[in-house]
Homo-oligomer: A and B are copies of this chain.
Amino acid sequence: MRRLRLDLAYDGGEFSGWAAQPGLRTVEGELSSALATLLRASEPVRLTVAGRTDAGVHARGQVAHADVDWAAWQRLPGRSSRSPEQAAVARLRGVLPADIVVRRAAPAPAGFDARFSATSRRYLYRIADDAAEHDPLRRRDTVTVDGMLDVAAMTAAARELEGLRDFAAFCRRREGATTTRQLISYAWARLPDGVVAGMVVADAFCHSMVRALVGAVVPVGLGDRPTEFPRSVLEAQVRDPRVKVMPAHGLSLEEVTYPPDGDLAARVETARSRRGAGE
Binding site for B on A (CB under 8 A): 9-11, 58, 60, 98-101, 103, 133-137, 139-141, 252
Contacts and interface: CB of A to CB of B under 8 A. Distances in A.
B135 A101 contact: yes
A137 B103 contact: no
Contacts of A135: 9, 60, 101
Contacts of A58: 137
A134 B11 contact: no
Contact of A101 (B10, B60, B134): B134
Given A98-B139, A139-B98, A133 B10 contact: no
A74 B85 CA distance: 63
Nearest to A252: B137
Task: Pick from A101, A136, A139, A141 the residue with the most CB of B within 10 Å.
Answer: A136
A137 B140 contact: yes
Q: How many copies does the complex hold?
A: 2
A179 B11 CA distance: 41
A11 B135 CA distance: 8
Given A11-B136, A58-B137, A101-B135, 12 more contacts: A9-B133, A9-B135, A9-B136, A11-B137, A98-B136, A98-B139, A101-B134, A101-B136, A103-B133, A103-B134, A137-B140, A137-B141
Given A103-B133, A103-B134, A134-B101, A11 B139 contact: yes
22 contacts: A9-B133, A9-B136, A9-B137, A10-B136, A11-B136, A11-B137, A11-B139, A60-B133, A60-B135, A60-B137, A98-B136, A98-B139, A99-B136, A99-B139, A100-B136, A101-B134, A101-B135, A101-B136, A103-B133, A103-B134, A137-B140, A137-B252
Contacts of A134: 9, 101, 103
Contacts of A252: 137
Nearest to A60: B135
A136 B141 CA distance: 11
Contacts of A141: 137
A139 B60 CA distance: 13
A177 to B, nearest CB: 31
A273 to B, nearest CB: 34
A53 to B, nearest CB: 13
A251 to B, nearest CB: 12
A133 B98 CA distance: 14
Contacts of A133: 9, 60, 103
A10 B101 CA distance: 25
A9 B138 CA distance: 11
